[in-house]
Chain A
Amino acid sequence: MKIGLFATCVADTMFPEAVRATATILERLGHEVVVPAEQTCCGQMHMNSGYRRDALPLADRFLATYGNLALDAVVSPSSSCVGAIRDLYRKLLGIEHPLLERTMELSEFLVHRLGIEDVGASYPHRVTYHPTCHSLRVTRTGDAPLRLLRNVGDLELVELPDATECCGFGGTFAIKNAETSSAILADKCTAIESTGADVCTAVDGSCLLQIGGGLSRRGDRVRAVHLAEILASR
């Protein structure tokens, strides 16, 4: 397949290793990965913050960047950005485009589209998985990340209590309502600590930024690592 990689502005700025890992996984599976140099941001932050009109040119830009490359799919390491493209472009911006349905987050692409649950990875750590809100309720990746993790060699998967609770990130909410956001995060960090895991993983860089930031401030040894990095490890 010819796959366009959408890095997303947050992941490419803060977690480029997760983007690199996404490309690695897809290339190992024998797909052609195209990384358009002109890509920037999908406009999610603007749409979610009340600046819908400012998001319009960014949506047009996304479609112009990926729309003419004859791609079979666009894959991204961020479910909230994929959700913004697949769900909000239509609902909020009134955009209809064949590319929207073909834009997928990595884990749903692997499991739901390619039918692959074992990518031949190995990762000798105790890992817990936080299902992010957008991956649960917008892109609906379901248990795809867990299926992939169960097939990673040497990995011990431990269940996260109250896993489906939000981490409190919520984009500008994390700053605008910082105290509430931090109270939600504190409960998430406590749940993660209770698992005894070394690593907490998820499919959204922004949530990992929040969780990782909270764990680091609490002086925890648990690290926040994107699912793609685990799946690319050998």
Chain B
Amino acid sequence: MAASRELRDSQLRANLANATGAIRAKRARIVSELPDWQELRDAGSAIKADVMANLDTYLLQFEQALTAAGATVHWARDGGEACAVVADVARAHGVSEVVKVKSLTTDEIELNSALAQHGIHALETDFAELILQLDGDWSSHILVPAIHRNRTEIRDLFKRTIAPDIESDDPAVLAEASWRYLRGRFLDAKVGVSGANFGVAETGTLCVVESEGNGRMCTTLPPVLVSILGIEKLVPTFTDLEVFLQLLPRSSTGERMNPYTSLWTGVTDSDGPQELHVVLLDNGRTRVLRDEIGRQALHCIRCSACLNVCPVYTRTGGHAYGSVYPGPIGAILTPQLIGIENAPSLPFASSLCGACYEVCPVKIDIPRVLLHLREQAVDTAGKPGERFAMRAMGWIFGRASRLRFAQHLARLLQRPLIRSGVIRRLPPPFAAWTRTRDLRPVAPVSFVEERSSKQGRE
């Protein structure tokens, strides 16, 4: 994790603290209304565990239901295959622009840049995603991608790009500027692209949960729709949605219900898109599924509650994680999707405070998975110096006499470092401690030692 730049940016830290603080308080209030919140979490966790255990069956059921409802199903082993499906559909219809619903999965596979290579522009229609696209920036939060920006920064950006006459930074004025820019594009669009929050195996229904309604514009106005979803997004039955449609809005935006929930099943004659492509994406997910401890990361419903409570995320923001999925969930999901050897520092970007586990609506034991991945990181990309130090500590702790000796040695070595009762400067590898913190010296005598010598005399 590389957080130095972010930590020095005081505007960024203020923006983050305000925004995460507000969502967090709202979530806590709205969750406390439900007497059966813990039971809902248990239900969400159990449904997802069942999906993972029987994913092969549910996926085939889903494909069958979708096909019967008039959709075309594509299986994509990786991002490249998924992007190719979208590009082929867009080219078949001769379009140079597609309109997009906010979708993390399409960020994961870098769909926009893949389409750009074919001369196709992917227009982001989610307000925050649009802001980032206009500025060449990228998402720093799962739910609120432009959380690192405040409204004055957004007003200035709009003035430079889509609304030269804009003066006010009032949220309503900013939103209106985006509507004026997007409205015509929605009406002209021939191809829409979406992700999906859930796919119902039983019926082939896709579900998108959103706040703005721009997503629904993309899934209903264009005659052609391509929906890409990770294979872990399934729920077995339509009834199971009732659990997640309670868990998700309360956990993510702190609302009892989100403003727009769109559900669509295949193609309906003369209503909505007349051509529906559904891309089922693996991109590392079956590998995650093989890991019995790590697989619970696939239960994630992308609510982002774990980000808002994380002491690390709320200080550094999402960019420091260098991953599409930031925060605690990103720290356990990304290394598994792309391979631990490609993100060995991510599982260490946590103080193990456990706040994420406490709020997770599907009870992913994030601290437990972090420890599991830390072990893998040490095994595949561990630093020899650290390994030696840990072995040495293990050896010292192997006998009380060795620990006593180490304590005596520390007392001798620290002598020249003590200034008016504290150590203000330590040599490497502990120098990082004393850059911002004093250290109290090792005590003159340990209690266990004192007590054992007393017991020995008696």
Contacts and interface: CB of A to CB of B under 8 A. Distances in A.
A179 B447 contact: no
A150 interface: no
A140 to B, nearest CB: 11
Interface in B389-435: 390-391, 393-394, 396-400, 403, 407, 410, 422, 424, 429-430, 432-433, 435
Interface in A157-175: 164-166, 168-175
Nearest to A45: B393
Contacts of A51: 375, 378, 387, 390, 394
Nearest to A62: B397
Interface residues of A, number: 68
B400 A16 contact: no
B377 interface: yes
Which label, helix, strand, loop or mixed, suits the secondary structure of the A interface? Answer: helix
Given A137-B357, A170-B350, A183-B7, A46 B447 contact: no
Contacts of B430: 175
Most chain A C-beta atoms within 10 Å of own C-beta, residue among B350, B353, B375, B433? B353
A23 B397 CA distance: 22
B354 A58 contact: no
A37 interface: yes
A38 B451 CA distance: 12
Interface stretch (B111-119, B282-290, B308-316): B308-316
A41 B394 CA distance: 9
A58 B351 contact: no
Interface string A40-74: 11010111111110110110010000000000000
A213 B439 contact: yes
A16 B104 CA distance: 51
Interface string B333-357: 0000000000000011111111101
Interface residues of B, number: 64
A214 B439 CA distance: 9
Contacts of A91: 368
A56 B1 CA distance: 29
B400 A40 contact: yes
Contact of B448 (A17, A39, A184): A39
Nearest to A188: B311
Given A40-B400, A182-B435, A214-B437, 6 more contacts: A23-B447, A43-B397, A174-B433, A177-B349, A178-B432, A213-B433
Interface of A: 7, 9, 12-17, 19-20, 23, 35, 37-41, 43, 45-52, 54-55, 57-58, 61, 88, 91-92, 133-134, 136-138, 164-166, 168-186, 209-210, 212-214, 216-217
Interface of B: 1, 3-4, 7, 13, 311-312, 315-316, 347-355, 357-358, 368, 371, 374-379, 382, 387, 390-391, 393-394, 396-400, 403, 407, 410, 422, 424, 429-430, 432-433, 435-440, 442-443, 445-448, 450-452, 455
23 contacts: A12-B447, A15-B443, A16-B446, A20-B447, A23-B451, A39-B448, A40-B403, A46-B390, A49-B374, A50-B378, A51-B375, A51-B378, A51-B387, A57-B394, A57-B398, A138-B354, A166-B353, A173-B351, A177-B1, A179-B7, A214-B436, A217-B437, A217-B438
Question: Which are the 8 A-B pairs with shortest beta-carbon distances?
Answer: A170-B351, A50-B374, A213-B437, A178-B432, A50-B378, A37-B452, A133-B353, A137-B354
